[in-house]
Chains A and B, each alone.
Chain A
Amino acid sequence: MRRMRFQKTGKAVWMSHLDTMRLMQRAFRRAGVLLHHSQGYTPHAYVSLPIPLSVGMESLCEILEYELDAELTITPEQINKVLPEGILVTDVYESDVKTKHLCLMDAELLLFYDQGIPEGCVEMIEALLSREELLIEKRTKRGPEEADIRPLLKSYRLERSGEQLRIFCTVCAQNPSLNPMLLIQAIERYAASCKPDHCRCRRLEIYDENGKVFR
């Protein structure tokens, strides 16, 4: 399995999952490397981003899977030259680890408070994250439903950083996954006074079930 690890930061965070796939398909062509194409009515290039990243989220650890005809190769330098600002390929490699082993993810939430961090905020957020149950409202096909996200939150750590509050967390990456931004929804529900005015979210690292960095 051919994989590419890349970062998505800056202006590129506003690109959707599908747009990112299209962007990478084009980048291969720009780099002069033709992706392996499917046969059939409308041939398409095989690329896949196993863990979709929400629009607006940064990531330092995105994975792209792709297929090339055996004799072809590509290097980070080759593709970085033709990528737009905010997308940076850091590694290109082959792996036989299936993506189903991608289980955990480290992420960082940066909470902005325009009037300064509210009194007792750190304690309140810590208290709510240590609850046994964290219910949030999820939109489903059957309409809004309650879901408990606490089992998907494996560990967390809070840190003051100047005027902002930082939450480091380890969450489930697949089956099911936890979008770290949902923690903000939980804060809104359980500790409304701690709701930030703005929040930035960034994926830091991905791991397999044994806590080894997933490659």
Chain B
Amino acid sequence: MNNKLERILPNVQKPARYVGGEYGQTVKDKASVDLRVAFCFPDTYEIGMSNLGMRILYAVMNQMDGVWCERVFAPWADMEEAMIQNDIPLYALESGDPISDFDMIAFTIGYEMSYTNVLNMLRLGNIPLHASERKGLSQMVFAGGACMYNPEPLADFVDFFCIGEGEEMTPEILNLYRKAKREGWTKDAFLCEVCKIEGVYVPSLYEHIYGDQGELLEIRVKEGAPKQIRKRIIQNLDTALYPTEGIVPNLEIVHDRSNLEVMRGCIRGCRFCQAGFTYRPVRPRSPKLLQKQAVEALEFSGCHEITLSSLSTSDYYALEELAGGMLDYCTPRKISLSLPSLRADNFSRELMLKLQQVKKSGLTFAPEAGTQRLRDAINKNVTEEEILHTCAIAFSGGWNSVKLYFMLGLPTETDEDVLGIADLVYKIYQTWRENASNKKRGVRIHVATAFFVPKPFTPFQWEKQITPEEYLRRTKLLKANMPAKFVEYKYHEADLSRLEAVLARGDRRLGAVLEEAVNRGCRLDAWDEYFNYSAWCEAFDCCKIDPDHYTVRGFEEGELLPWQTISDGVSTAFLSRERKKAYASETTADCRSQCAGCGANCLLEGGKCNA
């Protein structure tokens, strides 16, 4: 091991996250590969190693002969300081080589508040920040991930973006790069060619023109570049690579268990949920394949827990069959099966009791809004009756703690809706009193409210975000009316959600702000201990950009949107229709009951959804 590293590791927290060497990692001979990719996750090891997308693409890239993909994570602040002091540039875990030695530097980005980590990691790797400063073919920076549908705030720093699912697009890109490297192309020649791969967005080929008020006037498309970039999807998940032989971390990570992806997409269409639209259309894996993958993943990793993940696992068409088969395998082996994102409506008593066989996990609901009117407006089609009914079953089955997630600041929200949350919580308490199998143990109801952030590609993409002051007033109102004795109420940081809203619908002008923020020491913003709002405010002031432009102003439906070059397959007309229905508190049926005509079926060969 590197001598310098050996000396600093004893003094940092959790040094195991900085050395690699885990079971299942891919190590190749440097001399026998012609393309090295540093695959960066802009947050800590524990978060990044829990990310399914990263695990899939790590396997996809390393499956290619001649390509070696290695992992890079953001160091925690203590390690960062030690690295800077000891002149250790950011390095990849498998080889320990600095990322500046790599041909390509890839990022997977799932959260707006990790943008500063992207810049900070480039800086720690001694990579020039601006795409225009990197002249050669090497150190090619590209990015994809769940929040790259509006990548504009990062347009100055990233050479190209991958829009949509990466299993097929990534090898196409890598092979083109190898050709370019072999034939000695210029960087410009490569970018002009890579933009022809479907789903690739090269921001430097699009000029954004702004007016005096910071309004986006025009997007000029350079010659040869596509007018619109449509996201890539995998047609058939059953034939896509799934990494059942993935890395088993040497330290505890956030999701420390095996993971099965049962489907992509969600049939529900909750109007605030970006993933609910950008992951369309719904594509399930077959239960037989999943069962096989589960056994493979569990046998390879040795985990004693496995999750069936998706945006809404209870909507998986063959859940009963799959869960039944899984339990037959898991129970005698003392493996616990967890199903996140279960809905209250079809959460059957039988399934709940079955899941308890190995380990009893928590009960969590996300009603999102306190009144039926507002739940209808956001199309969160769950009723109070369903929630109370499920709680009654759970309480009589021995559960004595419930977590509830809500949002404040949703479009059309009034104080009545806010107070509706307290009402619902009280009704849940009463349900516990009436149904608890053991009242002596008491009940804990954990309530958390998030500050609504309007996201691109949702029916609320034009909406105003309420001011942080108004959000805080609503949290106070709720707190004052919440039955205090058995409830633990927490609410999200207002300032963080305001910035998230700015970056989510941000344009290219924010590149300068990001850079200023990083210059002022901003990074690890998603972590309370390092979030520095005043530094962010200074960065906005310094660049003469008003965050309100992206938040309380709202966007006009006719306005040119920064993300207009990109399409996720869902039509803007559909989003607009959904917005009007929200104002009328009208719900839209789920995709399985009735097609709402969102347009995402155009991404499928044959044009027909299999919801």
B136 within 8 A of A: no
A160 within 8 A of B: no
B302 touches A26 (CB 8 A): yes
As a 0/1 sequence over residues 7 to 47 of chain A, the CB contacts with chain B under 8 angstroms (1 = contact) are 00011101110110011011111101010010001110100
A84 touches B7 (CB 8 A): no
A68 within 8 A of B: no
CA distance A82 to B21 in the complex (A): 13
Known pairs A16-B16, A56-B10, A56-B15; A34 contacts B302 (CB<8 A): no
CA distance A86 to B9 in the complex (A): 16
Q: A14-B19, A23-B250, A30-B299 are known contacts; what are 17 more A-B pairs with Cβ within 8 Å?
A: A10-B21, A11-B20, A12-B250, A14-B15, A15-B250, A16-B14, A26-B303, A29-B298, A29-B303, A29-B333, A34-B334, A56-B15, A82-B23, A84-B23, A84-B250, A198-B6, A200-B6
Chain B residue at minimum C-beta to C-beta distance from A41: B360
Chain A residue at minimum C-beta to C-beta distance from B25: A84
Query: Residues on A close to B: CB < 8 A?
Result: 10-12, 14-16, 18-19, 22-23, 25-30, 32, 34, 37, 41-43, 45, 55-56, 82-86, 197-198, 200
Chain A nearest Cβ from B220, distance in angstroms? 51
Contacts of A32 in B (CB 8 A): 299
CA distance A86 to B23 in the complex (A): 10
CA distance A37 to B334 in the complex (A): 8
> Which among B14, B19, B303, B358 has the greatest number of chain A C-beta atoms within 10 A?
B19
A34 touches B250 (CB 8 A): no
B248 touches A34 (CB 8 A): no
Contacts of B6 in A (CB 8 A): 198, 200
Q: Looking at the complex, which one of A19, A37, A43, A86 makes contact with B251 (CB distance below 8 Å)?
A: A19
Chain B nearest Cβ from A106, distance in angstroms? 22
B19 touches A11 (CB 8 A): yes
A84 touches B334 (CB 8 A): no
A19 touches B252 (CB 8 A): yes
CA distance A34 to B403 in the complex (A): 34
Chain B residue at minimum C-beta to C-beta distance from A23: B250
Q: Looking at the complex, which one of A12, A18, A29 makes contact with B21 (CB distance below 8 Å)?
A: A12
CA distance A23 to B252 in the complex (A): 10
CA distance A192 to B14 in the complex (A): 29
Chain B nearest Cβ from A155, distance in angstroms? 26
Chain A nearest Cβ from B247, distance in angstroms? 9
As a 0/1 sequence over residues 1 to 36 of chain B, the CB contacts with chain A under 8 angstroms (1 = contact) are 100001101100011101111110000000000000
B437 within 8 A of A: no
A82 touches B302 (CB 8 A): yes
CA distance A16 to B1 in the complex (A): 18
Shortest 8 CB-CB contacts between residues of A and residues of B = A26-B302, A11-B21, A29-B302, A30-B302, A14-B15, A84-B23, A14-B16, A11-B19
Chain B nearest Cβ from A140, distance in angstroms? 21
CA distance A29 to B258 in the complex (A): 13
Chain A residue at minimum C-beta to C-beta distance from B13: A55
Chain A residue at minimum C-beta to C-beta distance from B96: A11
A11 touches B1 (CB 8 A): yes
Known pairs A26-B303, A30-B301, A43-B334; A16 contacts B21 (CB<8 A): no
A55 touches B252 (CB 8 A): no
Contacts of B10 in A (CB 8 A): 55-56
CA distance A16 to B9 in the complex (A): 13
As a 0/1 sequence over residues 285 to 301 of chain B, the CB contacts with chain A under 8 angstroms (1 = contact) are 00000000000001111
Contacts of A86 in B (CB 8 A): 21
A43 touches B358 (CB 8 A): yes
Chain A nearest Cβ from B499, distance in angstroms? 34
As a 0/1 sequence over residues 339 to 366 of chain B, the CB contacts with chain A under 8 angstroms (1 = contact) are 0000000000000000000111000000
A28 touches B9 (CB 8 A): no
B304 within 8 A of A: yes
CA distance A18 to B251 in the complex (A): 9
Known pairs A26-B301, A82-B302, A198-B7; A42 contacts B359 (CB<8 A): yes
Contacts of B20 in A (CB 8 A): 11
CA distance A15 to B20 in the complex (A): 11
Contacts of A26 in B (CB 8 A): 248, 301-304
CA distance A30 to B232 in the complex (A): 36
Known pairs A19-B16, A84-B22, A84-B23; A27 contacts B334 (CB<8 A): no
Q: Looking at the complex, which one of B250, B333, B358 makes contact with A19 (CB distance below 8 Å)?
A: B250
Chain B nearest Cβ from A193, distance in angstroms? 20
Contacts of A197 in B (CB 8 A): 7
CA distance A30 to B248 in the complex (A): 11
A30 touches B15 (CB 8 A): no
Q: Looking at the complex, which one of A18, A28, A85, A198 makes contact with B302 (CB distance below 8 Å)?
A: A28
Q: Looking at the complex, which one of A37, A45, A55 makes contact with B15 (CB distance below 8 Å)?
A: A55
For this complex, 16 residue pairs linking A to B, each with C-beta atoms less than 8 Å apart, are A12-B250, A15-B16, A18-B252, A19-B250, A23-B250, A25-B302, A26-B248, A26-B304, A30-B300, A30-B302, A34-B333, A42-B359, A42-B360, A55-B10, A56-B9, A200-B6
> Which among A18, A30, A34 has the greatest number of chain B C-beta atoms within 10 A?
A30
As a 0/1 sequence over residues 418 to 440 of chain B, the CB contacts with chain A under 8 angstroms (1 = contact) are 00000000000000000000000
